[in-house]
Amino acid sequence: MILLMLLESGIAAVFANDGAALVVTPIVVHFLQKNGVEEKVPFLLATELMADAASVPFVVSNLVNVVSATYFHISFLSHARVTFLPYVVSTLTTIGVVFLLYGRELKGSYLIGGEEV
């Protein structure tokens, strides 16, 4: 679950938050179906929450970032420098909240690349 959320965090940083959700959701659904996971809500909620929480660090990560950086003439690097810490905090906080809410339901092992983890 943590690896999945970190993957989503990285994708949300590069793509817009809705784009990240659209890219990762079919992958997660396929992974869950392949592993026979019946409780899909924690995984899907985790990826969608992370898509919103992690769309901070770059100007291109979120439409609001694009509009505000353009309006206030903020450079890409200036924006990234200021928003890196909030990005890390929001990513870690989202992981923590998901595990607080669904930690008991996330038991078992899954196949990733033919290897059980």
108 falls in which pLDDT band (50, 70, 90)? low
Residue 18 confidence (pLDDT) = 85
111 falls in which pLDDT band (50, 70, 90)? low
| Residue 99 CB contacts under 8 Å (≥ 6 apart), including other chains | 1, 106
Residue 109 confidence (pLDDT) = 65
> Does 116 score more than 80 pLDDT?
no
Cα separations in angstroms, 98 against 6, 42, 102: 13, 7, 6
12-52 residue pLDDT tens: 998 888 888 889 999 999 988 988 888 889 999 999 999 99
> Per the structure block, which two tokens stand in for 95?
């992981």
Length of the chain: 117
Render 65-94 in DSSP notation, one character per residue.
Answer: HHHHHHHHT--HHHHHHHHHHHHHHHHHHH
> Does 114 score more than 80 pLDDT?
no
What percentage of the chain exceeds 90 in pLDDT? 56
Domains of the chain, by residue range, sit at: 2-116
75-91 residue pLDDT tens: 999 999 999 999 999 99
- Of 8-17, 53-62, 98-107, the poorest mean pLDDT is in 98-107
| Residue 62 CB contacts under 8 Å (≥ 6 apart), including other chains | 16, 17, 55, 56
